[in-house]
């Protein structure tokens, strides 16, 4: 089977990820941060090692500011529900995933503006600046769109937020492990990331970097293994936001995924994904009936490619690719209806999304192109 759905979750993982999760499940399987026996201490070290490697990857100087969650959605919910209160104004982008759009819609008394932009170049900086109000508390931006691969200018937006005194939350679901991220150099106050996509870790992992300027209410309260005499949630990080037993085996795998990325180099992974995306875009452009969306080929084109095919509903095309050609892609709205409204594909069933990963080969891309070309003959 040819797996081209890495934007949903990456697969396969490096061998070291499977081995680390297996080792943790068998031999480091006490409850981390709870008991004092060897198995519990071993599990605690697994969790803290994952925190150190995550901090290292994202340029975080205080690792306790990396809070682990089950996925990017939980991290985004912690940031949005934890920070915003009635009367706040938030600026977001049209490409936002539902894991940003839905919490924002659920927050009562919070005003939301969408920064103008286009699906090829991303958010327009002047247009974003023009939306600023005295009560603008937060800017939340998609780093790389999961529909079009469009990259927003997060470094420039971070500088704007710092100059104007709003916090900056970045949804790094499609960029973590693929694009360089340094939260301190890029003025990012809150970084939400999944562990199971570009970081190559197991599902059930993710996290939120919480910068010193961001004071968040916890999403949940409970046991942390610390300050147990008090019914108040501890103020200390990461305990404040990490109640309940951690996903030790998942985090062991996440460390192995991050180590793989750092050994390979984010720049090299990015260049490789751009090469595959460009091959795909150029090949698709030559197939009659294909319509492409998002940025054109380029040296840092993200590995998320969306297209529609004349005569086919996106879901039907994806079904045939899976059923007849053993090629796994995703079709539909990809949980980002705003992006499809901007593309004009909201009412027509969305797009077919092909997302290569760091283990995809050029031959697999060519096989996918042949299969799409084959579809146009029927
Ligand atoms: C841009 C974007 N944000 C958020 C998410 C949610 O990530 P998770 O599945 O880890 O909750 C996704 C997942 O596809 C995404 O692509």
User: In Å, how far are 69, 213, 293, 315, 350 from 344, measured between CA atoms?
Assistant: 34, 38, 10, 17, 9
| Segments of the chain assigned to CATH 3.90.1150.10 | 266-375
Distance 39 CA to ligand 1 centre (A): 33
pLDDT at 338: 86
Report the C-alpha gap between 234 and 67 in whole angstroms: 14
For ligand 1, the distance from its centroid to the CA atom of residue 101, given in whole angstroms, is: 12
Spans of the chain below 50 pLDDT: none
Which residue CA neighbors atom 4 of ligand 1 most closely? Answer: 173
**Residue 217, pLDDT score:** 98
Atom number, ligand 1, closest to the C-alpha of residue 196:
10
Atom in ligand 1 nearest the alpha carbon of residue 171: 3
* Other Cβ atoms closer than 10 A to 236: 11
Q: How confident is the model over 35-44, as pLDDT tens digits?
A: 999 999 999 9
Domain at 15-264: CATH code:
3.40.640.10
Tell me, using a 6 A CB cutoff, whether residue 338 lines ligand 1. Answer: no
Question: What pLDDT digit, counting tens, does each position of 46-61 carry?
Answer: 999 999 999 999 999 9
Spatial contact of 211 and 189, defined as CB atoms under 8 Å apart: yes
Fold that domain 266-375 belongs to in CATH: 3.90.1150
Residues of each domain in the chain carrying CATH 3.40.640.10: 15-264
Phi, psi of 195 (to 5 degrees): -90, -15
Residue 161 falls in the annotated catalytic set: no
Q: Is the CB of 141 under 6 A from ligand 1?
A: no
Measure the CA–CA gap between 137 and 279, rounded to whole angstroms: 41
Question: pTM for the complete prediction?
Answer: 0.98
Q: Whose CA is nearest to atom 8 of ligand 1?
A: 72
Burial class from Cβ neighbours inside 10 Å (0-12, 13-18, 19+) for residue 364 reads: middle
- Residue 79: per-residue pLDDT: 98
Sign of the dihedral through C-alpha 221, 223, 229, 234: negative
């Amino acid at each position: 089977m040819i797996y081209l759905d890495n934007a949903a979750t990456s697969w396969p993982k490096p061998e070291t990820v499977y081995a680390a999760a297996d080792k943790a499940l068998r031999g480091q399987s006490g409850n981390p941060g709870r008991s004092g026996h060897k198995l519990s201490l071993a599990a605690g070290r697994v969790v803290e090692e994952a925190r150190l490697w995550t901090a290292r990857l994202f340029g975080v100087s205080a690792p306790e500011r990396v809070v682990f969650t089950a996925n990017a959605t939980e991290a985004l919910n912690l940031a949005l529900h934890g920070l915003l209160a009635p009367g706040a104004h938030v600026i977001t982008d049209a490409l936002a995933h539902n894991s940003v759009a839905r919490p924002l819609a659920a927050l009562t008394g919070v005003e939301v503006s969408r920064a103008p932009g286009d699906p090829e170049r991303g958010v327009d900086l002047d247009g974003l600046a023009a939306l600023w109000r005295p009560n603008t508390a937060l800017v939340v931006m998609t780093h790389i769109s999961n529909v079009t691969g469009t990259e927003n200018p997060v470094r420039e937006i971070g500088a704007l937020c710092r100059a104007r005194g709003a916090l900056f939350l970045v949804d790094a679901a499609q960029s973590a492990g693929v694009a360089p991220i340094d939260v301190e150099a890029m003025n990012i106050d809150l970084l939400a990331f999944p562990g199971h996509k570009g970081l190559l870790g197991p599902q059930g992992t993710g996290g939120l970097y919480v910068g010193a300027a961001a004071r968040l209410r916890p999403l949940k309260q409970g046991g942390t293994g610390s300050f147990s005499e008090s019914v108040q949630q501890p103020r200390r990080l990461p305990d404040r936001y990490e109640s309940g037993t951690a996903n030790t085996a998942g985090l062991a795998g996440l460390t192995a995924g991050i180590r793989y990325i750092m050994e390979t180099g984010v720049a090299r992974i990015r260049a490789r994904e751009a090469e595959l995306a460009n091959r795909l875009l150029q090949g698709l452009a030559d197939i009659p009936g294909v319509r492409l969306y998002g940025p054109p080929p380029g040296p840092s084109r993200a590995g998320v490619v969306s297209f529609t095919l004349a005569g086919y509903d996106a879901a039907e095309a994806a079904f045939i690719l899976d059923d007849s050609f053993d090629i796994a892609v995703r079709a539909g709205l990809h949980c980002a209806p705003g992006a499809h409204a901007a593309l004009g594909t909201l009412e027509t069933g969305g797009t077919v999304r092909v997302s290569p990963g760091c283990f995809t080969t050029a031959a697999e891309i060519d096989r996918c192109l042949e299969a799409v070309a084959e579809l146009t003959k029927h």
